[in-house]
């Protein structure tokens, strides 16, 4: 059994704090970290997660210029410092980010006095319980750092870690099963859970960690040493955090009419839809209508709860980041956005596009401001679209005046990205 993680610049050793990030939504509501000077709650924007950078092995001005000066200006929310580099690197860390001191012995705590601002807003991280207990006596926030390589060390990390505000765990093995056990055990506690990513190039591990068990760890310690890896992380982290709800409006049906044969696609995803979830699909970049998934009773076939019979091949499918994808561009593995009747969103991936020639129907609706949006879907009774009260409407039975759920956005797209230009789509 091992209890002390090895320290090396590529391993991303670090500690955590609720800093300018936030833990996942359920734990965020119950997490209140106590300090000597009163309640401490550094929760920030809904949906944000903790991302920390480890400075182990960095000390020179060249190190700062190479990577750290960029890290402190992007999505990272904390920096872990060491006794041998604290004086050189601390001045680079802005006030919005937490400074974390990794301490191997109680004497290291004396170095906190040299930090800008002194001991305020500092977390002490250590694998040694006596160091953490000393830091707690000083009124400092603490993080227990554990290394898990077997069942005994896993249970020890949970047993000791829940005593402190933060638990940072580095796992020897690539499986996420031990992480899932820690998540499940700590979910009723106030302890913030951070997974330390051992390999400084493993962006996949960092991103997957944040989504384990649909809850994920509260954050990661990931410390790339190259700008290419950092670019990859930032792009994927940004997509992961796109959780904001969309505004849905009630649209009034103006026209529903058959238009003959054409090519349509079903979007088969890697998720299971609920009865209130679907996808936003439209023929124009001005807006879309919320199309149902195949989760409702059909008398002649089994349900396909992973599928949206989404529409004609030319259609826009609305995605995160105010982007759209042409239906024809989607492939297995493409990211996709699930939208429920309240406008809440979640991420999935395309598993398969099922494209066939079918009879099509034009559905056109008017939004409250007078804007017209439309979607062209397969002209069949079993294809549904959401009513204003989130009920499935069979599209062959639609009639003028029916109220549907729609989404409005400013028109104008170039390769799926919103652009400011005058555009008329009919």
How many Å apart are CA 369 and CA 272, to the nearest integer? 34
pLDDT at residue 260 in the model? 97
pLDDT tens-place string over residues 259-310: 999 999 999 999 999 999 999 999 988 899 999 999 998 887 889 999 999 9
pTM (2 d.p.): 0.58
pLDDT band at 64 (very low <50, low <70, confident <90, very high): low
Two tokens, residue 133: 């207990």
List, in order, residues 6 or more apart from 350 with CB less than 8 Å away. Answer: 267, 268, 269, 270, 330, 331, 332, 333, 334, 335, 336
- Nearest to residue 291, comparing CAs of 320, 317, 269, 256? 317
Q: Are 385 and 290 in contact (CB under 8 A)?
A: yes
pLDDT band at 334 (very low <50, low <70, confident <90, very high): confident
Buried b (16+ CB within 10 A) or exposed e, 355-365: eeebebbbbbb
How many Å apart are CA 101 and CA 112, to the nearest integer? 8
**Between residues 117 and 100, which one has the greater pLDDT?**
100
Is the C-alpha dihedral spanning 156, 159, 163, 166 positive or negative? positive
How many Å apart are CA 49 and CA 21, to the nearest integer? 5
- Nearest to residue 80, comparing CAs of 103, 64, 105? 103
pLDDT tens-place string over residues 221-256: 999 998 999 999 888 876 665 555 789 999 999 999
Q: Are 9 and 57 in contact (CB under 8 A)?
A: yes
Q: Are 192 and 78 in contact (CB under 8 A)?
A: no
How many Å apart are CA 102 and CA 127, to the nearest integer? 9
pLDDT of 29 higher than 60? no
pLDDT band at 28 (very low <50, low <70, confident <90, very high): very low
Q: Are 100 and 76 in contact (CB under 8 A)?
A: no
pLDDT at residue 419 in the model? 42
Percent of the chain with pLDDT over 90: 52
What domains lie within the chain, and their CATH numbers? 25-240 (3.20.20.70), 249-418 (2.170.16)
Overall average pLDDT of the 389-408 stretch:
96
pLDDT at residue 168 in the model? 94
pLDDT at residue 424 in the model? 58
pLDDT of 196 higher than 80? yes
Backbone angles phi and psi of 387, in degrees to 5: -80, 175
Is the C-alpha dihedral spanning 304, 350, 272, 266 positive or negative? negative
Angle, vertex CA 12, rays to CA 7 and CA 18, nearest 5: 120
Alpha-carbon Rg for the chain, nearest whole angstrom, is 26
pLDDT band at 38 (very low <50, low <70, confident <90, very high): very low
Q: Are 148 and 170 in contact (CB under 8 A)?
A: yes
Angle, vertex CA 263, rays to CA 258 and CA 269, nearest 5: 110
Angle, vertex CA 334, rays to CA 332 and CA 340, nearest 5: 110
pLDDT at residue 65 in the model? 65
pLDDT tens-place string over residues 112-161: 877 766 555 789 999 999 999 999 998 899 999 999 999 999 999 999 99
Angle, vertex CA 153, rays to CA 147 and CA 159, nearest 5: 100
């Amino acid at each position: 059994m091992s209890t002390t993680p090895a320290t090396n610049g590529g391993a991303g050793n670090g500690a955590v704090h609720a800093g300018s990030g936030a833990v996942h939504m359920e734990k965020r509501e119950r997490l209140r970290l106590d300090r000597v000077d009163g309640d401490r709650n550094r929760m920030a924007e809904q949906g944000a997660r903790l991302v920390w950078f480890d400075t182990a092995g960095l000390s020179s001005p060249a190190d700062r210029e190479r990577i750290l000066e960029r890290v402190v200006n992007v999505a990272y929310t904390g920096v872990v410092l060491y006794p041998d580099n604290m004086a050189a690197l601390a001045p680079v860390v802005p006030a919005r980010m937490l400074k974390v001191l990794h301490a191997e012995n109680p004497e290291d705590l004396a170095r906190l006095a040299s930090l800008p601002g002194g001991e305020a807003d500092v977390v002490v991280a250590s694998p040694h319980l006596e160091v953490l207990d000393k830091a707690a006596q000083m009124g400092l926030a603490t993080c227990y750092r554990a290394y898990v390589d077997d069942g005994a060390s896993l249970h020890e990390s949970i047993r000791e870690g829940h005593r402190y505000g933060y638990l940072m765990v580095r796992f020897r093995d690539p499986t996420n099963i031990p992480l899932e056990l820690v998540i499940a055990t700590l979910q009723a506690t106030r302890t913030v859970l951070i997974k330390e990513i051992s390999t400084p190039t493993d962006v996949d591990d960092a991103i997957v960690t944040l989504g384990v068990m649909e809850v994920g760890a509260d954050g990661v310690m990931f410390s790339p040493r190259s700008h290419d890896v950092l670019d990859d992380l930032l792009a994927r982290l940004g997509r992961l955090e796109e959780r904001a709800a969309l505004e849905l409006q009630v649209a009034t049906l103006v026209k529903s009419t058959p238009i003959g044969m054409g090519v349509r696609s079903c979007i088969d995803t890697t998720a299971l839809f609920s009865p209130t979830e679907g996808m936003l699909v439209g023929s124009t970049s001005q807006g879309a209508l919320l199309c149902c998934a195949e989760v409702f009773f059909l008398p002649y076939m089994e349900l396909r709860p992973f599928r949206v019979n989404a529409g004609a091949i030319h259609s826009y499918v609305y995605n995160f980041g105010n982007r759209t994808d042409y239906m024809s561009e989607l492939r297995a593995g493409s990211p996709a956005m699930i939208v429920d009747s309240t406008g809440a969103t979640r991420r999935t991936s395309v598993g398969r596009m099922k494209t066939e020639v079918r009879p099509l129907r034009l559905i056109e609706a008017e939004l409250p401001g007078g804007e017209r949006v439309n979607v062209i879907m397969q002209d069949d009774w079993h294809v549904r679209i959401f009513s204003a009260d989130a009920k499935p409407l069979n599209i062959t039975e639609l009639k003028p005046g029916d109220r549907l759920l729609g989404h409005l956005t400013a028109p104008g797209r170039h390769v799926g990205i919103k652009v400011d230009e005058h555009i008329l789509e009919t």
